[in-house]
Amino acid sequence: MSATIQLRRGTAAQWAAANPTLAAGEPGFETDTNKFKIGTGSIAWNSLNYAGGAEGADVLQVQVFS
């Protein structure tokens, strides 16, 4: 049995404009920067740090399929 996991995704500009509050532990992926943030359930996107630190260190390689 195979499973597909999809992350919430969009460009950095789309995330910044929407500025959503992700659920605790919910990842959000920037398709143009390959950076991601993990939600806390209470902090809006623009105030979250990137996973791996403020600069979004390369801690995960992601392959995007359209």
- pLDDT tens-digit map of 2-49: 888 888 999 999 999 999 999 999 999 999 999 999 999 999 999 999
In a domain, 58, yes or no: no
d(CA 34, CA 58): 9
- Read off the pTM: 0.75
Q: HSE-up of 11 (CA within 13 Å, CB side)?
A: 4
In a domain, 4, yes or no: no
Residue 53 in this model has a pLDDT that exceeds 90: no
Domain count along the chain? 1
d(CA 48, CA 1): 35
d(CA 41, CA 38): 9
In a domain, 32, yes or no: yes
In a domain, 43, yes or no: yes
In a domain, 3, yes or no: no
Higher pLDDT, 64 or 57: 64
In a domain, 31, yes or no: yes
Residue 66 in this model has a pLDDT that exceeds 60: no
In a domain, 25, yes or no: yes
Q: Which domain holds residue 27?
A: 12-47
